[in-house]
A and B are shown apart, each in its own frame.
Chain A
Amino acid sequence: AQTVTQSQPEMSVQEAETVTLSCTYDTSESDYYLFWYKQPPSRQMILVIRQEAYKQQNATENRFSVNFQKAAKSFSLKISDSQLGDAAMYFCAYKKTTPLVFGKGTRLSVIA
Chain B
Amino acid sequence: GAVVSQHPSWVICKSGTSVKIECRSLDFQATTMFWYRQFPKQSLMLMATSNEGSKATYEQGVEKDKFLINHASLTLSTLTVTSAHPEDSSFYICSARDGGRDSNQPQHFGDGTRLSIL
Chain A positions within 8 Å of B, measured between CB atoms, are 33, 42-45, 47, 50, 91, 95-97, 99-105, 107
A91 to B117, CA, bound (A): 27
B2 to A, closest residue via Cβ:
A47
User: For chain A, what secondary structure do more than half of its interface residues adopt (helix, strand, loop), or is it mixed?
Assistant: loop
8 shortest interchain CB distances as A-B pairs? A45-B109, A97-B102, A104-B43, A102-B43, A99-B34, A102-B44, A43-B112, A44-B111
A43 to B114, CA, bound (A): 10
**Size range of the chain B interface in the assembly:** 20 to 34
Q: Does B95 lie within 8 Å of A100, measured CB to CB?
A: yes
A101 to B, closest residue via Cβ:
B46
- Report if B28 contacts A (CB, 8 A): no
Given contacts A33-B104, A50-B106, A104-B42, contact A99 B49 (CB under 8 A): yes
Closest chain B CB from A3 CB (angstroms): 12
B111 to A, closest residue via Cβ:
A44
Find chain A residues with CB under 8 A from B46 CB: 99-101
- Report if B103 contacts A (CB, 8 A): yes
A35 to B23, CA, bound (A): 23
